[in-house]
Amino acid sequence: MNTNAALTVTDVSFSYGAKKALDRVDFEIPPGHCTMLLGPNGAGKSTLFSLITRLYDTPNGQIELCGYDIKKRTTRALANLGIVFQQTTLDLDLTVLQNLRYHAALHGMSHKVAAQRIHEELERLDMFARRFEKVRQLNGGHRRRVEIARALLHKPALLLLDEPTVGLDVPSRTSIVDYVHSLARTGHIAVLWASHLIDEIYPDDRLIVLHKGKIKAAGSVDEILQSTGTATVKDAFFRLTQGD
Ligand SMILES: Nc1ncnc2c1ncn2[C@@H]1O[C@H](COP(=O)(O)OP(=O)(O)OP(=O)(O)O)[C@@H](O)[C@H]1O
C-alpha cells in the first residue's frame, strides 16, 4: 500500500436494493497526477463519488482520505477533500466573493486567511477582477472556474471532479482541462476526474476503467494500452467495456 496516497479505496461494494452498483472496488490515487475515471453510463462513477463524499454510508469495505478512515475520522478525512460536482452548487444570487467567503467560513478559516486564499485562487484562475459580479451574470466557463477556486480554498490533498466540463464550449473546456492538469503536476495535488471525454486525457495521466461496478483496468496510459494490446485510449476503453 502506498502510504502517500491521497485516496485509498479498499474492497468497496454498494447495492441499491438488489441492484449491485459497485463490486469489490480497490484502487489508490497518488498525488502529482490526474487520475481519469472512465466508465460508460451506469458504470458506478456517481455512486463511487457519493461514497467518497459521505453522501452515502459505506456498508462494505473501507475508504481513506490521506490515511483517515472516512467513517471513523470523518472530519479529519473530509478536510482533505475538494469537490466540483457535475451540476453547479454556487448560489447564483451571491457574488463570486460571497460564495467563496461562505465556503471558507464553513471550513473554519479566519476572515484574514480566507481573504488571502480567495485572492490567490481567483488570481490563478484569472477571475479576481470579477469577484464583485453575481454568479448569475457569469458564463458557464467562468462559473466552473469559481467552483474550482472554491474547491481549492482549504488546500485539499484530493480534488474530485465529476464531469466538470459538461456543457462548456471548447475554449472554456480546454482551459479548465489544462489548468487542472498543471495543478496536479506543479501543486502535487491528487486529482480524481470522472469523464466521458477521451480528449481530456493527457499522456501522463493515470486511468481507472469502471464497467458494471467493477474495475476493469487501472494504471498509466501506457500500461493500459499495453495490457489491452491497443493503440489508443479509445480502443482500449471499448475493448474493456464490451460484455461483462
Ligand atoms: N438511486 C438509485 N436506485 C437504484 N439504482 C440506482 C440508483 N442510482 C444508480 N443506480 C444504478 O446503479 C448503477 C450505477 O449508477 P451510477 O449513477 O453510479 O453510474 P454512473 O457511472 O455515474 O453513470 P452516468 O455516467 O450515467 O452518470 C446503474 O445501474 C444505475 O442504474
Rounded to two decimals, the ipTM of the complex is 0.97
Q: Where are the domains of the chain?
A: 1-80+159-244, 95-155
Contact 165, 196 (CB under 8 A): no
3: pLDDT confidence band, cut at 50, 70 and 90? low
> What percent of the chain stands above pLDDT 90?
87
Q: How far is the CA of 173 from the centre of ligand 1 (A)?
A: 25
Cα 77 vs. chain centroid, distance in angstroms? 15
| Residue that has been written with the C-alpha cell 467518497 in this structure | 52
- 195 CB less than 6 Å from ligand 1? no
The reply to whether ligand 1 has any atom less than 6 angstroms from the CB of 46 is yes
CA distance 107 to 121: 16
pLDDT in tens, 34-64: 999 999 999 999 999 999 999 999 989 999 9
* C-alpha of residue 61 to centroid of ligand 1, in Å: 19
What is the distance between the alpha carbons of residues 221 and 173, in angstroms, rounded to a whole number? Answer: 21
Residues in the chain, total = 244
Interior angle at CA 86, CA 83 and CA 89, nearest 5:
70
Distance 21 CA to ligand 1 centre (A): 7
58 lines ligand 1 (CB under 6 A): no
Residue 3 CA to ligand 1 centre (angstroms)? 31
The answer to whether 135 and 96 are in contact (CB under 8 A) is yes
Q: Which helix (H) or strand (E) holds 76?
A: helix 74-78
Query: Topology of domain 1-80+159-244, per CATH?
Result: Rossmann fold (3.40.50)
Interval 216-236: pLDDT, tens = 999 999 999 999 999 999 999
